[in-house]
Amino acid sequence: MNLYDETKYIINKYNVYPNKKLGQNFLFDEEALNLIASDVNKEDTILEIGPGLGTLTSILLEKAKKVITVELDPKMCEILRTRFIAYKNLEIINQDILSIDINKIASEAKVVANLPYYITTSIITYLLENHVKDITVLIQKEVAERISAKPGEKQAGAITYFVNYCADCKIIGNVGRDCFIPSPNVDSSVVKITRLKEPRVKVKDEKILFDLIKTNFTKRRKTILNSLSSMTEKEKLRGILAKLNIDEDIRGEELTLEQYAQIADLIKTN
C-alpha cells in the first residue's frame, strides 16, 4: 500500500475528522517525510511534536534510538498507542508542547516534526528559549522564508531576530500543498535550525533582549521611541538611544541585532 492509501485507510479505520483548528494536515509524501527525517541516526533521541496519525513517527522509530512524541489531540494518541504497540522505543505524551518542560522530558533530543501551522513561530521560539540544539521541521513556506531571512530584510519578523541571535537556519526543501490530507491553502518548506555554540551577540539579560524585540514587532508601525517606551520610561529611553547614536524615529525592523543587544544592556544597567 502506498502512503496516500495507508493514510486514507487509517483515517477511515479510526473515523478521524481532521481538526482544522489543531492544524491537522497529514503528510503522505515519502520524499518529504524522508527529508524531514534525513538527519536522524541510531544514537538519537527524537522529540516529535504533533505526530498525528504517526506517518513520520513510523520512519523515526526505525531510524532513532528513542522517539518521544507530544500530541495535543487525545484521539491521535490513542491511534499511536494502537499502531505502535510493539515498539519499546516510543513514549507518547498527550499534552500541549508549549506547556512541556522540554529539558525535563527530552534534554539533548533533536526535534523533528511536521508542525501545526497555527503556532509554528511560538513553538520555534519556545524551542530556542529552551536551548534545543537541533531542529528539523516542516512549516509554512512564508514562515520558513521569514525565519531564514536576515534582520533588516523585508520578510524579517521578531522570529528572524530570535533565530539569528542563537542559531543558523536554512531551507533544505520545499513541499507542495498536494502532499497532505486534507490539502492546506499554503505550500511548505523543511527548515533546519542549528543552535550556535555561542549566541551571535553578547547581552547581559537575554529576556530583556527577547522582550524588546517582541515589543517592537507587535507595535511595528510605531517609532522605536514610542514602541519601546512600554519597557522603560520614555526619557530614560531617549537618553539610551542618544548615547548609542540611534535615531529615535526609526522603526524596530531597522535596528540590527547588535543595536537591540546594546539597548537591552543599557536598560539593564541604567
Burial tier of 200 (Cβ tally within 10 Å: 0-12, 13-18, 19+): middle
Which range touches ligand SAM (CB under 6 A), out of 49-57, 141-149, 187-195, 227-235?
49-57
Question: In residues, how long is the chain?
Answer: 270
Task: List beta partners, residue 181.
Answer: 26
| 204 three-class SS | coil
HSE-CB for 163 with a 13 A CA cutoff: 27
With CB atoms as reference, the residue minimizing the distance to ligand SAM is: 50
Confirm or reject binding of residue 55 to ligand SAM (CB under 6 A).
yes
Residue with cell 507542495: 176
Question: Shortest Cβ distance from residue 124 to ligand SAM (Å)?
Answer: 13
Confirm or reject binding of residue 25 to ligand SAM (CB under 6 A).
yes
Confirm or reject binding of residue 70 to ligand SAM (CB under 6 A).
yes
Nearer to ligand SAM, 51 or 252 (CB): 51
HSE-CB for 25 with a 13 A CA cutoff: 23
Confirm or reject binding of residue 96 to ligand SAM (CB under 6 A).
yes
Question: Shortest Cβ distance from residue 203 to ligand SAM (Å)?
Answer: 29
Confirm or reject binding of residue 137 to ligand SAM (CB under 6 A).
no
How far apart CA 133 and CA 166 sit, in angstroms, is: 10
- List contacts with ligand SAM (CB under 6 A): 22-27, 49-52, 55-56, 70-73, 76, 96-98, 114, 116, 119
